Amino acid sequence: MGDGHGAPCVGGGAAGALRLASEWQFVVDVSGCKLLGLDNNFRGDSLTYLAGTRWSPNRAGRWTPHVKLQLGGTKLTQELIDPVLRKQLLAAATPSDSTNQLYLKYAKHRESNALTIQMGTGLDVKLNDALSYRVADLEYFHSWDSELNGFNYQHGLQFTTGLVLHIGTW
């Protein structure tokens, strides 16, 4: 089991934004990742879905900072595989046995879903009218979720970077 702290998480995501006013946007963000640092025979993942506002000044210059606040949820999933039972069940299986039914016998599935708030700031550099590079995006999140298999995922920091595609009127 875990040490009471959240495991690192590596993954990806996507966001969409709709301009509400010259400096304000409505943002929807969905991201997921694989949980790392889990004990042997454990595997897990995280899915975060958020919506909120982002303040970003007009892109008149090359560098554009932003600040955002979002509210949504986080779904955490973990599975514990019993390797001895797995080996026994697969050895005794017949071709007509459903692999999904066998899997349910040797894997314990746990999940949680909780309210999450996330706030952060970042900096983009304009490459051209349609494309920017998100140099850095640093966000803090807090989730009202309980421990999952001894791991606590109630708060943490997230760092992201990547390309930003601007669609619409530039």
Q: 161 vs 11, 20, 27, 76, 116, CA distance in Å?
A: 12, 24, 17, 23, 21
Tell me how far apart the alpha carbons of residues 77 and 144 are, in angstroms, rounded to a whole number.
15
pLDDT band at 136 (very low <50, low <70, confident <90, very high): very high
Q: How far is CA 82 from the centre of its chain?
A: 27
Walk me through the domains of the chain, giving residue ranges and CATH numbers.
9-80+108-165 (2.40.160.20)
DSSP 7: P
Taking the alpha carbons of 49, 109, 154, 145 in that order, is the dihedral positive or negative? positive
Nearest to 51 by CA among 104, 118, 97, 114: 118
Residue 87 DSSP SS3: helix
Q: Which tens digits make up the pLDDT trace of 30-81?
A: 999 898 877 788 888 989 999 999 999 876 789 999 999 999 999 988 888 8
Residue 146 has pLDDT above 50, yes or no: yes
